[in-house]
Copies of this chain bind each other. A is one copy, B any other.
Amino acid sequence: MLFQKVHVFRVKPKQELLSSIASYCREHGITSGIVIGIIGSVEKAKLNFIMELPGKYKSVEYPGPLEIVCAQGSVALKDNSPIIHIHVQLSGQDICRGGHLAEATVFTTAEVVIAELDYQLQRQLDSYTSLNELRQ
């Protein structure tokens, strides 16, 4: 597996981060890749935290502005549909939390780096976790 193309792009103020990344991937035909990083800031964000198995999440909303300190994740296919799975770290001077990115509205910018792979990453439902896990 190799990084075959690196995409660096900006998501602008007031845009929703996750759907903007999904749009970018759709427009550029990216179905398999690694989210190398995201930095910037959000005016608000919603993170999911796993609570118990099978896959039960709690969503928490955070008012901003908060820094996007970093993010990691991937783009993969499940049954031919793309799944963008990103964890993001947010911080202000008074609070610092990270988790599964459910949604976030960009404040100043989000500088996104995605490296496309020359191999198709796939997800499938895992009966133990009830989540869409990487297939190996």
Residues on A lying within 8 angstroms of B by beta carbon are 1-10, 13, 34-39, 41, 49-53, 55, 58, 60, 65, 67-74, 85-89, 91-93, 96-100, 107-109, 111, 113, 115, 117, 121, 126, 128-129, 131, 133-134, 136
Contact assessment for A69 and B88 in the assembled complex, using a CB-CB cutoff below 8 Å: yes
What separation, in Å, do the CA atoms of A50 and B71 have in the docked complex?
18
Contact assessment for A93 and B97 in the assembled complex, using a CB-CB cutoff below 8 Å: yes
User: Which of A2, A53, A74, A91 lies at the interface centre, i.e. has the most chain B CB atoms within 10 A of its CB?
Assistant: A91
Q: Which B residues touch A126, using CB under 8 A?
A: 109
Contact assessment for A52 and B34 in the assembled complex, using a CB-CB cutoff below 8 Å: no
- Copy tally for this chain in the complex stands at 3
Knowing that A8-B34, A70-B71 touch, tell me 5 more A-B residue pairs with CB under 8 angstroms.
A9-B136, A13-B53, A69-B98, A70-B89, A89-B89
- List the B residue with the shortest CB-CB distance to A112: B134
Overall SS of chain A's interface: strand
What separation, in Å, do the CA atoms of A3 and B51 have in the docked complex?
36
Min Cβ gap A54→B in Å is 9
What separation, in Å, do the CA atoms of A92 and B108 have in the docked complex?
26
Q: Which B residues touch A87, using CB under 8 A?
A: 39, 67-70
What separation, in Å, do the CA atoms of A107 and B9 have in the docked complex?
33
